[in-house]
Each structure stands twice: as C-alpha cells, then as structure tokens.
Structure 1
Amino acid sequence: MKEVPLSTCERNALEALVAAGLRHDRRSFLQARDSTLSFGRDYGSCSVTLGETRVLAQVTCEVVEPASSRPNEGKLRLAVHMSPMAAPHMEQGRTFGEVDALTQVLERNIKESRCIDLESLCIMAEESVWMLRVDITILNHGGNLCDAANLAAVAALRHFHRPDVSVEEDGRVTVLSYDQSPPVPTFMKKVPVCVSYALVNLNDTCHALMDPTHHEERVMTGRLVVGLNPHGDITSLVFPGRVALQKAEIMTLLNHAFVRAKSVAERVQKDVDDDLAARAHQDVVCGYKGVLKSDEQYKRESYVLVLKTKALGDFVVPKEEEEDTQANTDMDGVTSTEMNMDQSDTDSDGEMRSSIAAMISSVRKSTDSKKAVGEEASGARDLEGGIAAMLSAVRRETDRKRESLEADTSTEVDMDSDDDEEEVQGKLTSQDIE
C-alpha cells in the first residue's frame, strides 16, 4: 500500500504556519515534544513515547565466538523492524530506504561511538564472548524516528543486565540463572543522544524545526541529524537534502543540540536508576501495565494540558462602537447626577451600617464577657437581635430607593429621536434629589 500523498491544502497550511513562526502543535521551532520512558518486566526492555511516536527496544544476549580481528572484544548488533502497525505504507517483508537510513544512523551513533565497553563482554579471549543484540520495533510512526529509536536503544542497553557465567577447567562456559548468581550490569561509558532538525526553505529563508512531526517531515526541504554526547563529542552528522546553511547557523543548532543532549542523558540515567532501585524493593514487577497510551488518549491529555496552561490565550470581547454620540452627550448631565446621588447614598448607608456593625460587635463582646463570668445574657441577645433587624430594614429601604431612582432615570432618558427639544421630560429637580 502506497503512502497517502499530502494534499495541497495541508501543504500550504503547514508552510504558512512555518512562515509565520508557528507550528501546528503550538510548539516553538526549537522545542521538543514530551517524552516518556517505560521499562518492562525483563532487563533491557524499554518503551519510548515521543509525542505520537512509539518505539520498543529489547536487548538480548548470547555467547558466540569473537571476531578474528578483535579476539578480546564482544559484539553489538542493531536491528530495526517496521510493520504496517507503525504506518499503513510499511508492508511486511519489504525493505524501505527509511529503515536502512535509520539503521545507519543508529550504528554510527551507538556502535561506532564505542559507548559500550566491548572488552567487558569478553569471557575467554579468542574463544567466547557476549554478543548483545538490540531489536528496535517501531510501534507508531509519528515523526522523528531517529531520536525516538536512539533513546529507546540507549535506555535499553543502560538498563540491561546479562547473566553471569562460570568457566570450567576444560574451557566450557556455563550460563548461570538469576537465582544462582545475580545478573551483571552493562557498563556504558557515555550516553549518546540523537537530535534531529527539519529544515524548511521558504522565500529564501531556512527555518529549522526541532523534533519534527510526521506532517512536518513531509514538507521539509532537508534534514540535520546530529549524534553527540553530553561531554561535547560529535559522533555522527547527517545532512541530507537540498538546503545550504551558513557556518553560523550550523553552530547555533549544534550548541542547542548540546544543551538538549545533556538534559536527555541526565533523564536516561535518572529513569534507569529509579527503575532498578524500585526492582530491588519489589517482588513483582508490573512492567508496561497501565503505562502505554493510545493516540486518542495522548491527544486528549495534550488538549487538557493546553487548556490548563491557557496556551490558547485569553479571548477578549471587543467593545461595540458608539453609534449615537449626540445622545451620549445629552446623557452626561443625568449620569453625573445619578452617580453623585448614588455615591452620597452609598456613603450614608455605609456610615450607618458601620455604626450598627460596631454596636453589634460591642454587644457580642459584652455577651461573651458575661458568659465567661456566668451571668445571664438574654437581654444582650435581645438587643443584638433588634439591632440586626434594624440593619436588615435599612438595607431593604436602601435597595428600594435605588430601584425607584433607576426607574426614574430610565423614564428620564426615554426621549423622542425626531423631537429636537433640548429639555428632557421627567428631568430630576433639586427637590426630587433631596
């Protein structure tokens, strides 16, 4: 099955967003998607989620004969598997250029960087060594497979523990079970990290998008894949495509990639150490139970996170324009009078309520003091109830006056638009205000 081509509307929309400095998932150009690391029940089983991309890595080992050129070093093999479960166009049994390119990047970044001490995998020189095999399975292709596959493979190798062995006098090698001898951890010198950028050339301007999605990869002009470790060593550099970058632009991306590599390496070491510490105190390991999420669940949680962080921004209702400025000018006098009267009523009501509240507070204090000495406080309670009733009556009277004032004001501003008289019918006089 061939891959469904990207429509013209989708391509134009993605290019317009990039030209405007935006991305369709609300990220900045140099911002990566959220990633999670999960470990299975067995040592060396790791699942990585990078946005909608999901990759599973499993490390296995076996005893083999060493190579004649390196008789005291073990072996490391990497294999990438893709199936229609990852993407509909990836048919079973067919080879893809994308798989070959991904395998080549992983071998350069992991195997050729010598991050694993292969000499520690030697059992007997020129006779038997350990061979570690890393099987990387793409569960869902959501873009940027290089970063996700590299992260899964490195975390699985860092998490893997191989069984111990015993060597007989005649050279026979016996593999011991975990009950007979504790497993041996894999020593990793450095943690290699892969950082990918999608390069989109629009209007003679090259835009670099870190951690591209599947849709962004289909509109990109070129790609920059950097393999490096947090110690400042560049292990691989892949720069395919029809894009030309200046030296200053490449150095800027490399400096940003070093910062990203340092944070990812610390994340891998922390997650692996936490899982190994949890296994030491647990009898039963849960594995992937309740950890893996579907695409719909991931999108739902992303939308909820956007709403919580108010990433969509605050929507402001625009104010309506004033249509009749003359009528507003005529209303200024009445409005100012109403505001002054409301202010005076509010001030008087506030003073009265403050005095009554002070009386209630003093009565309550007197009542509490009488209770403390054991005297009767029924008279004080009656006085407090009367004052509270008085306050309620004052509030009702104030509300009634305000309602009547609003009714008079509405009658006053009701004028005929065709009549050019300057005087307003029902205008309040000074006696009415008093």
Structure 2
Amino acid sequence: MRETPLSTCERAAVLAAISRGVRLDNRGFLEVRDINLSFGKEYGSCTVTLGETRVLAQVTCEVVEPRPSRPNEGKLSISVRLSPMAAPHFESGRGNELMDELQMILDRNIKESRCLDLEALCIMAEESVWQLRVDVTVLNHAGNLGDACNLAAVAALRHFHRPDVSVEEDGRVTIHTFEESEPIATYMKKVPVCLTYAFFIIDENIHMLMDPSEKEERVMSGKLVVGLNPHGEITSLIFPGRVLLSKKDIMNCIKSAFKKAKFSAEMIQNLVDEDIVKRKSSVKVDGFAKNLISDTVYASHMVKKTIDKGQNFKFQVPRESDEENGSLNDEMDEDINDEESGDDNSDAKPNKSDILWRIQSIRQASTKDDDATHSMETDGESEEEEKKPKLTAQDLI
C-alpha cells in the first residue's frame, strides 16, 4: 500500500507555521517530545515512547562459534522491522528506504562505535562465544524513528542479562538457568545517543528544528542525524537530503546535540538501574501490563467521563404554550369548584396538574348525566301507571 500524500493545504500550513517560528504541536524548535521507557518481565525487553512514536526492542543470546579474524570476541547483530500496525504503508517482509536508513543508523551508532565490550562475550577463544541479537520493531510511526529505535536498542542492551556458563575440562559448555546461578549483566563502555535535526527551506531561508514529527518529516527538505556519546565523541553523522549546509550550521547542531546527549544517557542509565534493583529485591515485576488499561478500568473511566459530561447539560420538561396552560387551569378550577359545592360522594381533591384525573372527572360527569336522564324517564312512566285505574276481581265479575 502506498503512502497517502499530504494535501496542499496541510503542506502549506506546516511551512507557514515554521516560517513564523511556531510548530503544530506547540513545541520550540529545539524542544524534544516526552520520552518514556518501560521494561518487560524478561531481561532485555524494552519499549520506548517518543511522543506518539512507539518502538519495541528485544535482546536474545545464543552460543556460536567466533569469527576466524576475531577469535576472542563475541558477536552483535541488529535488525529492524517495520510493523504494518505502525503505518498503513508498511508491508511486512518488504524493505524500503526508511528501513535501510534505520538499519544504517543503528549499525553505525551502536555496532561500529564499539560501545559494547565484545571481549566480555567470549566463553572459550576460537571455540565458543555469545552472540547478542537485537530485534527492533516499530509499533507506531509518528516521526523521528531513528532516535526512538536507538534509545530502545541501547536501553535493551543495557538492561540485558545473559545466563552464566561453566566450562568443563573436556571443553563442554554448560548454560545455567537464572535459578541455578545469578545472571551476568551486559557491560557497555559508553551509551550512544542519536539526535535528529530537520531543515526547511522557506523563501530562501533555512529553518532548523529538533525531533521532527511525522508531518514535518514529509515536508522537510533534509535532515542531519548526529550520533554521539556524553563523553564528547561523535559515533556517526548521517546527512540524508538535498540541503546544503555550511560548516557553521553543522557545528551548531553538534554543540546542541552534546547537551541533549548527556541528559538522555543519564536517563537511560538511571531507569535501567532502578528496574534492576527492583528485580534483585524480589519485587514483583509488572512488565508492560502497567502500560495497558483493562476492560474494567476502561469501562469505569468511560462511565466517569459520561457523568462528568452530563453535568454540563440541563434537562427540561417540554411545556405547553401559556394560552393552553391558562385555559386548562381555568377548566380544572371550575371542575374542582363544582365538586366542592355540590357533590359529597366525590373522591379526595387531586392535584390540579393531573391531566388523567381531569379526563376521568369528565367521564364521571357524563355518566352521572346519563343516569339522571334514565331515572327521569323511569319516574315519568311510574307516575302514568299510578294515574291509570287498577283492575280488580270485582270488575271482572
């Protein structure tokens, strides 16, 4: 499925906002979206959210033979997968330019920078070493996938613990479970951080901003991906796009990136250390469950939302016009006055506003009139019968 292009109005709105120094999400040009890290129940499982962008990274390990050129070093492989749930135009099993770009960013920033101590992964030189595999899956694409994938991969590697092994005299390798022996943490020399700058050419002027969103990426003229660590070393520098930048602009981006890199590296280290301390103190690990909302919680949330929304409304009973109300009240007053003056056998006086009682009273009045006329007819017949002479036995004789 092809990506749906932006309309002319959307493109013009993004460029017009940037030309006036405003972004659509009300951020500053050098402001990064909120970053959240959460760890799964197993070591090496991490999800990173950068705004609405969400990425999952999982680290696994296995025992393999080392390379002949490096017999005492372990192996590290990184793979990126664009899930179809991340965006409609991502197709599983098919690569594209974005996947190749993300793969290049992670390889240069993590693998080629040698931030991981590969010699510590050696079990027996020239015979067996550990191979770490990092699988990065994009769950939601909302812009700046390079930074999010790098954060997820680095945090997962920093959080990963491999099982302990023992080597027998005959060269056999025994892998112990976590219950049998305490797992061994992965040692990282430095924490690499990736920062992305987007450039826009508007009226022959170049505008620069950090952490571009998905719409900004589709409008930008080019970008600069800076990979570095908090020690001041540049691990990678990728410059895709068609924008010509001067040396001064590139140096300004690198200086700004150093300030952000130190904060991101400290955040990753602190969050990973906190989670490891909780696991070692026998605290129950919730994993990703804390990021989910159960059906009962969601239902109660919707009920509360409906109640709060309903408090703003005023329910009014529809009323008749004033003329109809006036005539109706007059008729009801007359009926009630007549009953109070004449009828002793009537029921207790009901409420005036009871329309059903009014209808019932009218029916009772009509039935009373029918009974009165019927009684008058019967009385007249009886009087005529009394006026006629009655026949006796003597008259017949």
> TM-score, length-normalised on structure 2?
0.73
Q: Where in structure 2 are the equivalents of 1:317-396 lying within 5 Å?
A: none
Cα deviation 1:272-292 (Å, max 9, x = unaligned): 001111112234311011225
Cα deviation, 1:153-180, whole Å, max 9, x if unaligned, reads: 0000000000000111111111100111
Question: Are the structure 2 counterparts of residues 268 and 292 from structure 1 closer, same or farther at C-alpha, using a change threshold of 3 Å?
Answer: farther
1:392-431 Cα distance to aligned partner (Å, 9 max, x none)? xxxxxxxxxxxxxxxxxxxxxxxxxxxxxxxxxxxxxxxx
Alpha-carbon separation, structure 2, partners of 1:152 and 1:15: 31
Residue type at the aligned position of 2:191: V
1:223 aligns with 2:218: no
Tell me, in whole angstroms, the C-alpha distance in 2 between the residues paired with 1:145 and 1:285. 28
Which residue matches 1:289?
A: 289
Q: For the residues of structure 1 that align with 2:240 and 2:275, how far apart are their CA atoms? A: 38
CA shift at 1:35, angstroms? Answer: 0.6
Query: 2:113 and 2:217 mapped to 1: Cα distance?
Result: 27
Aligned residue in 1 for 2:240: 240
Partner of 1:202: 202
Query: Which deviates more from structure 2 when the two are superposed, residues 273-282 or residues 185-194?
Result: 273-282
Aligned positions of 1:40-79 closer than 5 A: 40-79=40-79
Alignment length, in residue pairs? Answer: 295
* CA distances 1:329-356 after superposition (whole Å, capped 9, x unpaired): xxxxxxxxxxxxxxxxxxxxxxxxxxxx
Identity of aligned residues (%): 63
Inter-partner Cα distance in structure 2 for 1:94 and 1:121 = 32
2:118 is the alignment partner of 1:118: yes
Instruction: Work out the CA distance in 2 between the residues paired with 1:283 and 1:18.
Output: 48
Q: Where do residues 97-108 of structure 1 align in structure 2 (5 Å cutoff)? A: 97-108=97-108
Taking a change above 3 Å as real, the CA distance of residues 142 and 292 of structure 1, as seen in their structure-2 partners, is farther
Structure 1: distance between partners of 2:94 and 2:88: 13
Structure 2 distance, partners of 1:123, 1:163, is 12
Per the alignment, in what secondary structure is the counterpart of residue 290 of structure 1?
Answer: helix
The residue type equivalent to 2:31 in the other structure is Q
Q: Which residues of structure 1 form unaligned runs of 5+? A: 298-434
What residue is the counterpart of 1:183 in the other structure?
A: 183
Q: For 1:290 and 1:175, how far apart are their aligned partners in 2?
A: 32
**What amino acid maps onto 1:202 in structure 2?**
I
Separation in 2, partners of 1:91, 1:123: 39
Amino acid aligned to 1:241: G
The amino acid of 1:52's aligned partner reads: E
Partner of 1:149: 149
Please give the alpha-carbon distance, in whole angstroms, between the structure 2 residues aligned to 1:141 and 1:12.
22
- Matched residue SS, 1:252: helix
- Measured in 1, the distance between the counterparts of 2:280 and 2:28 equals 40
- Report the equivalent of 1:350: none
Measure, in 1, the Cα distance between the counterparts of 2:252 and 2:95.
Answer: 36
Aligned to 1:377: none
CA deviation map 1:196-216 (0-9, x unaligned): 011111111111110000000
Task: Name whichever of 218-227 and 236-245 sits farther off.
Answer: 236-245
Query: Which letter does structure 2 place at the counterpart of 1:255?
Result: K
Quote how far apart the aligned CAs of 1:141 are.
0.4
Q: SS in structure 2 opposite 1:289?
A: helix
Q: Does 2:284 align with 1:274? A: no
Aligned residue in 2 for 1:3: 3
What is the rounded CA distance, in whole Å, between the counterparts of 2:230 and 2:13 in structure 1?
37
Q: Partners of 1:246 and 1:52 in 2: how far apart?
A: 33
Q: Residue 102 of structure 1: CA displacement?
A: 0.5
RMSD: 1.3
Rg larger in structure: 2
Which secondary structure does the structure 2 equivalent of 1:68 belong to? Answer: coil
Helix, strand or coil at the partner of 2:291: coil
Q: What does 1:89-100 correspond to in 2, within 5 Å?
A: 89-100=89-100
Whole-Å Cα distance in 2 between the matches of residues 121 and 102 of structure 1? Answer: 26
What is the rounded CA distance, in whole Å, between the counterparts of 1:98 and 1:187 in structure 2? 30
Gaps in structure 2 of 5+ consecutive residues: 299-397
Letter in 1 for 2:121: L
Q: Give 1:252 shift.
A: 1.0
Q: Distance in 2 between matches of 1:5 and 1:213?
A: 15
- Find the counterpart in structure 1 of residue 361 from structure 2: none
> What is the CA-CA distance between 1:74 and the residue it aligns to?
0.1
Cα distance in structure 2, aligned partners of 1:271 and 1:141: 24
SS in 2 for 1:28: coil
**1:307-346 CA distances to partner (integer Å, 9 max, x unpaired)?**
xxxxxxxxxxxxxxxxxxxxxxxxxxxxxxxxxxxxxxxx
